[in-house]
Structure 1
Amino acid sequence: MSFISNFVRKEDPNVYQDKDSHMARVLGVKDILALGVGTIVSTSIFTLPGVVAAQHAGPAVALSFLAAAVVAGLVAFAYAEMSAAMPFAGSAYSWINVVFGEGFGWIAGWALLAEYFIAVAFVGSGLSANFRGLIEPLGITYPKALANPFGTDGGVIDITAVVVIVLVGLLLSRGVSTAARVQNILVTLKVLAVLTFIVVGATTIHASNYVPFIPAHHVSADGNQFGGWQGIYAGVSMIFLSYIGFDSVAANSAEAKDPQKTMPRGILGSLLIAVVLFVGVALVLVGMFKYSDYANNAEPVGWALRQSGHEIVATVVQGIAVVGMFTALIGMMLAGSRLIYSFGRDGMLPKWLGQLDKNNLPNHALIVLTVVAVIVGSLFPFAFLSQLISAGTLIAFMFVSLGIYRLRPREGKDIPDPAFKMPWYPVMPALAFLGALLVFWGLDIDAKLYALIWFIVGLFVYMAYGMRHSYLNKK
């Protein structure tokens, strides 16, 4: 077969249904909501509102969060229909494989793989930094060799990042239901911490800090777009990274009870809860102090509480925030391991990755994800790659949005007719695609360049291994 023929050959959805049938369906709506909220409402809710306000949008940072939420919401409707119609492990990779073909599915999956590898390492490193900041006032400090990644400020290995990633890997290896119980408790604590900040912070708001709500546009000394619609738009591209967690929810479709109802409710519900919390934090934060006070501030929420005389509340909120970061690790590692399992299931990567253990869990894939995340998160500085998470995920979002046009004619035929469908068809899928494209366009040139390099590597892997070992060859 030619390269083109291989690239566009489609998988039979019934094959995926059969291959994933051994995975236990144990996740209910509550569990899916907790996974979604836990992944979306992560480290960024305690940092990004202040950073974006100071660098780009001023008090209008709430509009940046709302604009990003509109785009994410449009795409989430597409994800909800896809996951209801095709509740397979691997989310966008498996769906695109069915509706567009193997090569397109690989591109979408390879894009998400970058998200999971880097995001797990990123959250592990962020948790480490916040934990060290929390215990420092107690007089406990790490030697630099164990506190920082290799080559960063005398660092050799970030030992805290290693420990937390391995601990979450061990938790997930015991099964989804066990992880879900832990996730539900931690997410509840984290939401309470966010609500505590909103309530306490609201008592110290000064209305003058909101004026002007949208500052006049100018280019700052460091080249950032600030104020006006340009500043709001620049903020959207930074903020969108916060909302991509609902993809990790969809990756667990094969383990959801009654996915026709559970997945749409979990995806859309978790995004709605996240939007309310993000906008609430943003509005309170810029009301407490002038937005410029948050410039170069790595912990704006804790700083604002302490400056307002709420030291005890600040400590409690930051302490819960550190514990709550485990929820993002659980969601990302759960989804990432299911994606790698899907690659092995289809022969696109070594078939060992697609094998289930004696408890019908994809723990081989989980081991690989844990090892890679430990290497990236504990040994290498990777802050410059953070936007690659957004770039890769946005490409997958565009594929899924357009995939609705190929899915809809097949529903009720070779693909089940789902109980949930994206409204305003055929207009909304186009709006979702254009919204994701607009956010992608707003990423900086480095993010697009790193994404291009990652996809070139992915195509090489596909041609050298995946295309030759794909199980579709047996047909």
Structure 2
Amino acid sequence: MSNFWQKVTRKEDPKVYQSKDKHLLQVLEVKDFLALGVGTIVSTSIFTLPGVVAAQHAGPAVALSFLAAAVVAALVAFAYAEMSSTMPFAGSAYSWINVVFGEGFGWIAGWALLAEYFIAVAFVGSGLSANLRGLLTPLGIKLPDQLANTLGTNGGWFDLLAIVAMLIVSFILSRGASEAARVENILVILKVFAILVFLVVGVTAVKSQNYVPFIPKHRLNPDGTSFGGWQGIYAGVSSIFLSYVGFDSIASNAAEAKNPSKTMPRGILGSLVIAVTLFVAVALVLVGMFKYSNYANNAEPVGWALRTAGHPIVATVVQTIAVVGMFTALIGMMLAGSRLLYSFGRDGMLPKWLGVLNKNNLPNHALLFLTTIAVVIGAVLPFVTLSQLISAGTLIAFMFVSLGIYRLRPREGKDLPQPGFKMPWYPVMPALAFLGALAVFMGLDKQAKIYSLVWFIIGILIYVFYGMQHSDLTKQQKDEQ
């Protein structure tokens, strides 16, 4: 048993990661990380969640749910900024936890994030497909049910548009991070423009009575969840938090950053500030235009609100740009997910093939594997019930990173470099970040917790029977004996 524990807690030398990642091209700047972060965080959810959460949980106080979720995300983002500034390695939380806590804990954190990327890529691909079909149908363009729905859903075989969207993004990423960043930057500007158009037009239809009462009286929904009161705001936080998990996609690409000690903190914290501002503004305008109950079971509240307020052309323009903008979330998630898989292969935790770089120093084997799995999940298998697993896995990784600051700080300036950014109010803030992430996790529904438990059992089995046996640290120990 002691031998097993020694293997779980053996730590990777940070110099080894520096050596392994040195072939990755350092081409990404602050503007690229801001676009990557905003593009991933401000995805499909900004056009749907404010209305859905207002109707189901918080009423007009949905803006407070977004702010509370943002506070927790910001606390964790400070920890991410210090970690990525000190250890600009591919793989984000997986690589960091490997260095500060040990191989087994690093694997758990990385495995948690892998659930986020597999499911999020499929989730966004399917959402993009549904919205694009919604725009094409009025034009008389309609795919047959077999090619428009996932296997077993409404006579579907596979979701063709989801497959095409993921393959297009995979091709762009296979050309390199700088190529992807150029596309991302343009699409993010378009998407932010669409949101600003909605805000400018929507604010003209705002009626003050729709904000009263701002925090409705508490009651239980038929499904047992809370509506109204502070309980409803809290229930809204857990539903909304998945919107903010995208800043991890920035950290996963730290090995490809120019001057990472400054670039990474600015990219992580800057993108979060922009995203929070946009989310809160959209939420306030949306519930001000019409009473929150109008958004119940409404899959496209922004488009509906604009059309109902007498702006059908603006609604079409905003929704069209929103569909194009969904590619930004796909780019961010697939870029980060492929770098995480590369890190697993790099360290021998999964087959070494995943950690191989091509002649242009790109981890395209990992990208191919991620694309294949995401296509299967997003185009063939129904996965709507798995959406909260995105938040569950990420929150577990967030808790590890928050606590990791306590192990990191004593090593800075010794075997690790002094970071360009330090988490303020140490040692209080790391504890607050951990408790905040734990509180959001506890607010997730029972199904999400069960799915995450199953995912972790699978991950632990893979680690015990493959990763622990084949990791580079195991081979290194054998060579030393």
Q: TM-score, normalised by structure 1?
A: 1.00
Within-5 A mapping of 1:106-145: 106-145=107-146
**Shift of the alpha carbon at 1:315?**
0.2
Residue in 1 aligned with 2:323?
A: 322
**Shift of the alpha carbon at 1:473?**
1.4
Residue in 2 aligned with 1:60?
A: 61
1:304 aligned onto 2:305: yes
Residue in 1 aligned with 2:265?
A: 264
**In the aligned structure 2, how far is the partner of 1:387 from the partner of 1:164?**
22
Cα shift readout 1:412-470 (whole Å, capped 9, x = no counterpart): 00100111000000000000000000000000111001000000000000011000000
**Shift of the alpha carbon at 1:42?**
0.1
User: Per the alignment, in what secondary structure is the counterpart of residue 358 of structure 1?
Assistant: coil
Residue in 1 aligned with 2:29?
A: 28
Residue in 2 aligned with 1:313?
A: 314
Residue in 1 aligned with 2:472?
A: 471
Residue in 2 aligned with 1:408?
A: 409
Q: Please give the root-mean-square deviation of Cα atoms over the aligned residues, in Å.
A: 0.6
1:220 aligned onto 2:215: no
User: Per the alignment, in what secondary structure is the counterpart of residue 436 of structure 1?
Assistant: helix
Amino acid in structure 2 at the alignment position of 1:64: S
User: Per the alignment, in what secondary structure is the counterpart of residue 2 of structure 1?
Assistant: helix
**In the aligned structure 2, how far is the partner of 1:64 from the partner of 1:26?**
37
Cα shift readout 1:288-312 (whole Å, capped 9, x = no counterpart): 0000000000000000000000000
Residue in 2 aligned with 1:50?
A: 51
User: Per the alignment, in what secondary structure is the counterpart of residue 399 of structure 1?
Assistant: helix
Amino acid in structure 2 at the alignment position of 1:443: L
**In the aligned structure 2, how far is the partner of 1:293 from the partner of 1:338?**
42
Cα shift readout 1:106-156 (whole Å, capped 9, x = no counterpart): 000000000000000000000000000011111111110000000011100
**In the aligned structure 2, how far is the partner of 1:419 from the partner of 1:190?**
31
Residue in 2 aligned with 1:455?
A: 456
User: Per the alignment, in what secondary structure is the counterpart of residue 22 of structure 2?
Assistant: helix
Within-5 A mapping of 1:170-181: 170-181=171-182
- Identity among equivalent positions (%) equals 77
**Shift of the alpha carbon at 1:221?**
2.7
Moved over 3 A (4+): none
**Shift of the alpha carbon at 1:2?**
1.9
Q: TM-score, normalised by structure 2?
A: 0.98
**Shift of the alpha carbon at 1:3?**
1.4
Amino acid in structure 2 at the alignment position of 1:281: V
Amino acid in structure 2 at the alignment position of 1:132: R
Amino acid in structure 2 at the alignment position of 1:323: V
**In the aligned structure 2, how far is the partner of 1:424 from the partner of 1:199?**
38
**Shift of the alpha carbon at 1:223?**
2.4
**In the aligned structure 2, how far is the partner of 1:206 from the partner of 1:137?**
31
Within-5 A mapping of 1:429-440: 429-440=430-441
**In the aligned structure 1, how far is the partner of 2:326 from the partner of 2:222?**
34
Residue in 1 aligned with 2:384?
A: 383
**In the aligned structure 2, how far is the partner of 1:103 from the partner of 1:128?**
38
Aligned length: 475
Cα shift readout 1:232-271 (whole Å, capped 9, x = no counterpart): 0000000000000000110000000000000000000000
**In the aligned structure 2, how far is the partner of 1:224 from the partner of 1:111?**
26
Residue in 1 aligned with 2:423?
A: 422
**In the aligned structure 2, how far is the partner of 1:447 from the partner of 1:3?**
30
User: Per the alignment, in what secondary structure is the counterpart of residue 90 of structure 1?
Assistant: coil
**In the aligned structure 2, how far is the partner of 1:34 from the partner of 1:444?**
31
**Shift of the alpha carbon at 1:474?**
2.5
